[in-house]
Structure 1
């Protein structure tokens, strides 16, 4: 009896993943990403703007509800969902690269992937990761606040010795979690936009790319973290430009990494 292979179960050939990424490839990706943004700014500004508005609304609700203790971990973890938000930007870059027509329907329709719900499955993983980060961050803050006693709920607590220790510990844990999450999504989400593979295959390819080009991909992670941090300082407004820049650039880095 013959069987028909499911294309979603077909693993990516290892030879497709390059192991010779260089720092120059990162600057080339940023340059190409900026050209994409400049050529079709309406998509990047709209997607980045929606991301900013969502962050501001959630921050405002947390503040007025007196949940100031969740503001810092929420702000720190908010970039975790950025790779999923950037799916439409990957599709815009792909279409511009291939010379295909661009429209809001095609850009937003990228969330459907190849009609197989693989990107939506990745979306679930992304939001579960964000929720897990919030749980971990809340647990860390609860431990330190319990030690500090009354007054630990105020923002002034962050300037105390205990508050600074909480930020250091929480930041260290967050950095490890963020890099693991970055390793999982940096290649997988662009791949799911580009190819009819399963999210498991895409995640494996993403981890292999980071492992095979660890130094360069670590530098790329640092560039992303620094740019996002700087963009978030002026009330998140810098993300209107930085998010689409990084989204388009990530597409071009993905294309370089997988030849």
Structure 2
């Protein structure tokens, strides 16, 4: 399966092909295994990403306290914006493929366009990543607003805390509010997942527009519906595991999923015909 996509630099005058590969259902397991290998090679610099995300999550939970919808928004935002925050993990895995030495310099290059001992002006590639992150944040906000509206409208009592949500929605003996809420969440989250599964690694690695990267991500889903559903379930399960361990598990799970997402991108797409992003 393939799709002709123009070069991001000069779409009017040149074109290149993205080839979408089909994979086996169990292939996501191999991404996690290779990710663990990357994590071991990168060491503390990978773990630092997990520490940072865990601390951000802890701060959000502390600020939310018993304000349920703020907490729900923080969790949703984490799931949606997490792939953007993992950008430097993708860069580290890409560097390992190319024989680069992993370290803080690679992280600074990714986020600050650090060259020759100082910060350089951002190029188009960096701004595309920021723009995509904003789109994800808006999507997360929309989901929280829709979810809050549904629960507020149909719940028998005001939902003011996670405990009340569990008692009055999740464990409710009458009505179908929880099932409706889950179905709505699935309907909103599925297209977001389809739009992001390989988008950010592709934007980091090759000269493509946001629209072209999203289109390629959807092609991946259509070509591999069962493996990608399995991959999405693994991401959700591991993320929930990280939260269930009082965020401590995120210290290792965040870098593991970040490195694994790079390997997913490499297995799912052949982008050899596309121009690379300029080496920093």
- TM-score tier after normalising by the smaller chain length: 0.7 to 0.9
Q: Name the structure 1 match of 2:148.
A: 138
Q: 1:99 to 1:13 in 2, by over 3 A?
A: same
- Please say if 1:13 is aligned against 2:21: no
| 1:166 Cα offset (Å) | 4.2
Q: Name the structure 1 match of 2:191.
A: 180
| 1:78 Cα offset (Å) | 2.5
Q: 1:56 aligns with which of 55, 58, 65?
A: 58
| 1:21 Cα offset (Å) | 0.8
Q: Name the structure 2 match of 1:169.
A: 180
Instruction: Please give the TM-score of this superposition, normalised by the length of structure 1.
Output: 0.86
- Asked if the contact 1:11/1:201 (under 8 Å) is kept, the reply is no
Q: Name the structure 2 match of 1:22.
A: 24
Higher strand share: 2
Which segments of 5 or more consecutive residues in structure 2 lack a partner in the other structure? 1-6, 114-121, 271-280
Q: Name the structure 1 match of 2:123.
A: 115
Q: 1:196 aligns with which of 202, 207, 212?
A: 207
Q: How far apart, CA to CA, are the structure 2 residues paired with 1:71 and 1:36?
A: 32
Q: Name the structure 1 match of 2:167.
A: 160
Q: How far apart, CA to CA, are the structure 2 residues paired with 1:135 and 1:34?
A: 37
Q: Name the structure 1 match of 2:276.
A: none
Q: Which moved more, 1:151-160 or 1:121-130?
A: 151-160
The 4+ residue runs of structure 1 with deviation greater than 6 A are none
Q: How far apart, CA to CA, are the structure 2 residues paired with 1:193 and 1:234?
A: 31
Q: How far apart, CA to CA, are the structure 1 residues paired with 2:10 and 2:199?
A: 13
| 1:76 Cα offset (Å) | 4.5
- Please say if 1:90 is aligned against 2:90: yes
Higher helix share: 1
Q: 1:68 to 1:44 in 2, by over 3 A?
A: same
Q: Name the structure 2 match of 1:43.
A: 45
| 1:111 Cα offset (Å) | 4.0
| 1:197 Cα offset (Å) | 1.1
Aligned CA-pair RMSD = 2.3
Instruction: Please give the TM-score of this superposition, normalised by the length of structure 2.
Output: 0.80
| SS state at 1:13 partner | strand
Which segments of 5 or more consecutive residues in structure 1 lack a partner in the other structure? none
Q: How far apart, CA to CA, are the structure 2 residues paired with 1:167 and 1:12?
A: 46
- Asked if the contact 1:70/1:138 (under 8 Å) is kept, the reply is no
